[in-house]
Amino acid sequence: MNAVLITPPTLEPISLEKLKLHLKIELDVLDEDEYLEGLIKSSREHVEDITRRAIISQTWDYYLQNWPDGDSITLPLGNLQDVALIQYVKYVNSAGTSTTLTVTTDYIWQTNGEGFGKVILPYAGTWPTATLYPSNPITIRFVCGWATQALVPFKIKAAIKMICAELYEQRGESVMGMTIHENKVIDRLLASKRLWGNF
């Protein structure tokens, strides 16, 4: 997948307080807050790797070498948001000149719920015909992931909490030759949320 994270999430799918409740840690105990926040982030990133989707709002640049033969471009990571002020489609021609396409006139965002979002041509529209720059000439900037913690499915939150708990309880054991075993419950929780596609 030829994509780069531009703006990471500003919040996580579960709060520190919710994780502390799950781990049965007193809420006013502050000693390990930074460590626990790191567990939440790394667990969310692990779930993103497994499901191949963005879990919570983040901004990405997706690069293409050519315009497609068809009338749409499928975007990775799922949960495409319609954020007009942030998102764009632009290309660079062989002379190095950058052109930003006009939404609704040149293309349309198709969010498709939790599935793969798309950039599609309007009726009878065509992709630009200019000779493209040789390296990553087309950039699609998009925002994806669930917009709030409340919208993240419970299955994903439960999996993140379970991964956090496993890491918290077994920290340091891998150094002694032990590893965290595959957790089939986590796999089952995430199975229906995995995106399938070639990127």
Where among 144, 161, 180 does a domain terminate?
144
User: Is 4 a member of any domain?
Assistant: no
Q: What is the pLDDT of residues 50-97, one digit of tens each?
A: 999 999 999 999 999 999 999 999 999 999 999 988 999 999 999 999
Q: What is the pLDDT of residues 162-193, one digit of tens each?
A: 999 999 988 765 544 444 456 889 999 999 99
Per-residue pLDDT, averaged over 143-161, amounts to 97
DSSP for 85-136, written as a single string: TT-EEEEEBTTS-EEEPPBTTTBEEE--TTS--EEEPPTT-----SPBPSSS
Domain check: are 135 and 181 in the same one?
no
Q: What percent of the chain has pLDDT over 70?
A: 94
User: Is 80 a member of any domain?
Assistant: yes
pLDDT confidence of residue 177: 46
Domain check: are 34 and 93 in the same one?
no
Q: How many separate domains does the chain show?
A: 2
User: Is 96 a member of any domain?
Assistant: yes
Please give the structure tokens belonging to residue 111.
């969010």
CA atoms within 13 A on the CB side of 179: 3
Structural domain range at position 184 = 12-51+152-191
**pTM, 2 dp:** 0.90
27 falls in which pLDDT band (50, 70, 90)? confident
| CATH number of the domain residue 18 falls in | 1.10.3230.30
pLDDT confidence of residue 173: 57
User: Is 107 a member of any domain?
Assistant: yes
Work out the mean pLDDT of the chain and round it to a whole number: 92
Domain check: are 86 and 23 in the same one?
no
